[in-house]
Homo-oligomer: A and B are copies of this chain.
């Protein structure tokens, strides 16, 4: 357990976390660390690699290692779904005030910048199967990026799919200028008479593609969570599928399973 590079990483990590090393500050050089800890250079580098992959430091070639600006952390719980459902019946003035992202991050609407893009696409096989429509059927694809104004990359990349003909029952749902829609997708669905019964989260993780590394500013070696969120209405039809790409170095999912009591 007490591997040398882990001990070095853990001491430097503690200094970053307790503020002794502030964002932007330079860490001691590799040779200094080597002498201090009486280890070889590869061991020092392994420790710094570890901190880099955790997103705590940036290593600038030929210059040194710097404490990274901390990234917005997200704690995502499924309680956000019932919370959003309860808000559907509130007046617009109240729905306008806050959303699920604010709930997960503790940020306010003034801290966030929201971007939405709509287009249509033919249903690929997996989505067609979920929605119960033919492969190639017209879908409305909505891409959302929400960014903390303190940071230059979005918190996640969210791609949401609706069956186009269903969405078109309310033409306002086809217009991205209605975003951010007060009350979110559950309110949008409500305008076409849909109530959700349940939401199923599928969580996997994979290494990012080069374009995703760039879009989400991922440190080397960091994976992305792929959250496929499937929304099912009260007559058991899939009515929305969202694929959310989430940086794995700044997100925690928390799910509570309540158990029924044993009979006395």
Contact = CB atoms under 8 A, between A and B. Distances in A.
Interface of A: 3, 6, 46, 50, 53-54, 78, 81-82, 85, 88-89, 195-207, 209-211, 221-223, 225, 234, 248-249, 251-262
A205 B88 CA distance: 33
Top 3 A-B pairs, shortest CB-CB distance? A223-B223, A78-B257, A205-B248
17 contacts: A3-B211, A6-B209, A53-B207, A78-B257, A81-B257, A81-B259, A82-B259, A85-B259, A89-B262, A195-B262, A198-B256, A201-B254, A203-B203, A203-B254, A205-B248, A206-B248, A223-B223
Given A203-B253, A251-B204, A259 B198 contact: yes
What does DSSP make chain A's interface, helix, strand, loop or mixed? mixed
A255 B77 CA distance: 11
Give the oligomeric copy count.
2
Contact of A205 (B50, B225, B257, B261): B225
Given A3-B211, A262-B195, A200 B253 contact: no
A247 to B, nearest CB: 10
Contacts of A223: 205, 207, 222-223, 248
Given A78-B257, A81-B257, A257-B82, A249 B206 contact: yes
Contacts of A206: 53-54, 248-249
A5 B205 CA distance: 20
Contacts of A254: 200-203
A248 B204 contact: yes
Contacts of A204: 248, 251-253
Given A205-B205, A206-B248, A258 B195 contact: no
Contacts of A258: 197-198
A221 B249 CA distance: 14
Contact of A196 (B197, B199, B225, B259): B259
A251 B223 CA distance: 14
A58 B97 CA distance: 52
Contact of A200 (B3, B50, B211, B256): B256
A260 B204 CA distance: 27
Most buried by B among A6, A199, A207: A207
